[in-house]
Amino acid sequence: MSEEKFMQKEFDQLSRYYEEDLLFHKVPDQCMAPFFKKGDAVAGIPVSPTDLPYFWDEVILAETEGMPPLLRRVLRGSQPGLVTLVTLNTTEPHTQHKAEDIVIKASYRIIWHRSAVHTRIAHIEHAAASRASFA
């Protein structure tokens, strides 16, 4: 099974369990390294705007006006209704490392993270176990 299909299968199972609008996101770059690397997959469940302050200083998926979903650490903004979004890896080029006083359209708490490397290892271990059972 390919890595993409393996991740999709996990995400489908997660969707059935939560029965909510999950947001699936593939990490496009290294701006959130070392915890989230390019190619990793994450999924999040919606956070109501009134609950967002409970997630200050946490990594969330944030939807903002005119931008694709961003995986960022969320901090309190200068006034209610505004947030600051920051990257973890400030050495990543071509990335705005700090966006202050942003209005978030929707936010999602991360409930699932699949590292591309871990997926490959799990797939290899599963294949090895399958071969061993036939020996």
pLDDT of 69: 94
Q: 3-134 has which CATH code?
A: 2.10.109.10
Q: In the predicted model, what is the mean pLDDT of residues 47-54?
A: 95
pLDDT in tens, 71-96: 999 999 999 999 999 999 988 887 78
Give the pLDDT confidence score for residue 36 in this predicted structure. 95
Domain ranges of the chain: 3-134
Terminus-to-terminus CA distance in the chain, angstroms?
A: 21
* Statement: residue 105 has pLDDT above 90: yes
| Chain segment 121-135, per-residue pLDDT in tens | 544 555 555 555 555
Q: What is the 3-state secondary structure (H, E, C) of the chain?
A: CCHHHHHHHHHHHHHHHHCCCCEEEECCCCCCCCCCCCCCEEEEEEECCCCHHHHCCEEEEEEECCCCCEEEEEEECCCCCCEEEECCCCCCCCCCCEEEEECEEEEEEEEEEECHHHHHHHHHHHHHHHHHHHC
Mean pLDDT, rounded, for 28-39: 92
Amino acid 123: pLDDT: 46
Q: Which of 35-39, 52-56, 84-88, 119-123 has the lowest mean pLDDT?
A: 119-123
